[in-house]
Amino acid sequence: MVETLMRKTRIAVLGTGGTIAGEASSASDVLSYQDSQLSAADTLAPLAPYLPREVELLALQISQLGSENFSTDTWLLLAHAISRLDQTEEPDGFVLTQGTDTLEETAYFLHLALKTAKPVVVVGAMRPATAISADGPLNLLRAVQLAASPQVRGFGVMVVANERIFSAREVTKSHTSSIDSFCSPEFGCVGYMQNGDVKLHRMPSRHHTINSPFSVSGLQSLPKVDIVYAYAGAGSESIRAFLDGGTRGLVHAGTGNGSISSVHQMAYREAILRGVAVVRSSRTGSGLVSRNGAVDDDAFGSISSDTLSPQKARVLLSLALTLKQDAPELQRYFDNY
Ligand code: SIN
């Protein structure tokens, strides 16, 4: 008899804290709790009976941090940890557990920066692990199942939440507390998890991971990029403070189609003259900020964010500034990533 030795599908699970690792004093308390208490191994323990036998998990604790405390250094730490693991442990896929508050930013950063075709799934929870009806264990089980699926090889970084699969570029947190908080307002999900089966409907269309020019290998810090929020009567103090703080890029979270008030325009003109990149995005939450629409970008020297939200535009601009400085080249990144 010939015996075939099959290597198990190995999934590396990196824990960073957040509500998925949170604990409350009462199982009925879903709002006041301590986040970042359980280790990655602890959060995986309830999944054991439901994991297919051919899947093996490798749990690693990277940090214990609410995601509101993440910084661009945390993103680099995670990218470096995943790249190192990819070489040393050769897993078939990755799951990153983190707080949901800035989950979409980490996911998009990794989507642009990682050099792997293996599935990478970022997952969190809206309720602490101690809640009667905690969403973390099911989200995490689905994340492992998705990361183990050869169907999503080459999809880049995905987020799975409440049985939906999203692409990192498109997903956003849209509710303060509902378990159905994650959505993609413009494009919808890329597929569903159905009792653990991956049901895909489309592929992410923009370039990412192995098809992006961005590399963070050896990089210890990212260029400083800040977000300026627009509102009726806003002054230019924040822009001036960011310039004094040494910012290299400013993302305008603009009204409507990325419009800029005359007060802000004066300050941005000075920024552009100083070589600081200015990207126009919108605070509306959906839609495409059209180039040369609300502002004549060609004349002003600004860049339009395409469909990226202010926080996602900041991620792309930080990486783009590691390669290019001039507005037309930066615009090309926003048109393609
Ligand atoms: C966090 O982002 O760390 C807290 C909130 C959450 O995980 O849902």
pTM: 0.97
Same domain for 284 and 162? Answer: no
Residue 67 Cβ < 6 Å to ligand 1: yes
Single-letter amino acid code for the residue at 188: G
Residue 18 Cβ < 6 Å to ligand 1: yes
- pLDDT of 218 reads 94
- pLDDT of 4 reads 52
Same domain for 97 and 187? Answer: yes
Which phi and psi (to 5°) does residue 202 adopt?
Answer: -160, 170
Same domain for 261 and 162? Answer: no
Domain with 122 in it: 9-211
Q: Rounded to whole angstroms, how far apart are CA atoms 276 and 247?
A: 7
Spatial CA neighbour of 122 closest among 92, 97, 152, 86: 97
Helix (H, G, I), strand (E, B) or coil at 240: helix
Q: Rounded to whole angstroms, how far apart are CA atoms 11 and 93?
A: 5
Which of 211, 235, 266 represents a domain boundary (last residue)?
211
Question: Does any domain span residue 218?
Answer: no
Tell me, yes or no, if 307 is annotated catalytic: no
CA geometry: angle at 98 spanning 95 and 100, to 5°?
Answer: 120
Question: Does any domain span residue 216?
Answer: no
Same domain for 81 and 150? Answer: yes
Same domain for 155 and 286? Answer: no
Q: Record the tokens describing residue 154, joined without a space.
A: 């080459």
- State the SS3 of 156-217: CEEEEECCEEEECCCCEECCCCCCCCEECCCCCCCEEEECCEEEECCCCCCCCHHHCCCCCC
Q: Rounded to whole angstroms, how far apart are CA atoms 164 and 232?
A: 37
Q: Rounded to whole angstroms, how far apart are CA atoms 201 and 248?
A: 39
Residue 126 Cβ < 6 Å to ligand 1: yes
The neighbouring-strand residues paired with 14 are 60, 96
Residue 136 Cβ < 6 Å to ligand 1: no
Residue nearest ligand 1's atom 1 by CA: 99
Residue 16 Cβ < 6 Å to ligand 1: no
Position in ligand 1 atom list of the atom nearest CA 126:
8
Supply the DSSP symbol for 297.
H
Residue nearest ligand 1's atom 7 by CA: 99
Residue 35 Cβ < 6 Å to ligand 1: yes
Same domain for 145 and 278? Answer: no
Same domain for 60 and 97? Answer: yes
Same domain for 287 and 142? Answer: no
- pLDDT of 29 reads 96
Same domain for 36 and 183? Answer: yes
Residue nearest ligand 1's atom 8 by CA: 100
- pLDDT of 5 reads 62
Q: Record the tokens describing residue 104, joined without a space.
A: 């979409």
Spatial CA neighbour of 306 closest among 60, 81, 108: 108
- pLDDT of 2 reads 47
From the candidates 9, 16, 19, 74, which is the catalytic residue? 19
Question: Does any domain span residue 220?
Answer: no
Q: Check: CB of residue 252 under 8 Å from CB of residue 278.
A: yes
Spatial CA neighbour of 84 closest among 104, 60, 55, 119: 60
Q: Record the tokens describing residue 184, joined without a space.
A: 């993609």
* Cα of 234 from ligand 1 centre, angstroms: 29
Same domain for 191 and 269? Answer: no
Query: How many structural domains comprise the chain?
Result: 2
* Cα of 108 from ligand 1 centre, angstroms: 17
Residue 76 CB contacts under 8 Å (≥ 6 apart), including other chains: 216, 219, 220, 221, 222
Same domain for 144 and 232? Answer: no
Q: Rounded to whole angstroms, how far apart are CA atoms 213 and 19?
A: 33
* Cα of 73 from ligand 1 centre, angstroms: 18
Same domain for 230 and 202? Answer: no
CATH number, domain at 251?
3.40.50.40
- pLDDT of 52 reads 85
Position in ligand 1 atom list of the atom nearest CA 102:
2
Residue 178 Cβ < 6 Å to ligand 1: no
Position in ligand 1 atom list of the atom nearest CA 20:
7
* Cα of 129 from ligand 1 centre, angstroms: 12
Residue 68 Cβ < 6 Å to ligand 1: yes
Q: Check: CB of residue 195 under 8 Å from CB of residue 216.
A: no
Q: Rounded to whole angstroms, how far apart are CA atoms 163 and 156?
A: 18
Q: Would you write out the chain's pLDDT as a tens digit for each of its 337 residues? A: 444 567 899 999 999 999 999 999 999 999 999 999 999 999 999 999 999 889 999 999 999 999 999 999 999 999 999 999 999 999 999 999 999 999 999 999 999 999 999 999 999 999 999 999 999 999 999 999 999 999 999 999 999 999 999 999 999 999 999 999 999 999 999 999 999 999 999 999 999 999 999 999 999 999 999 999 999 999 999 999 999 999 999 999 999 999 999 999 999 999 999 999 999 999 999 999 999 999 999 999 999 999 999 999 999 999 999 999 999 999 999 999 9
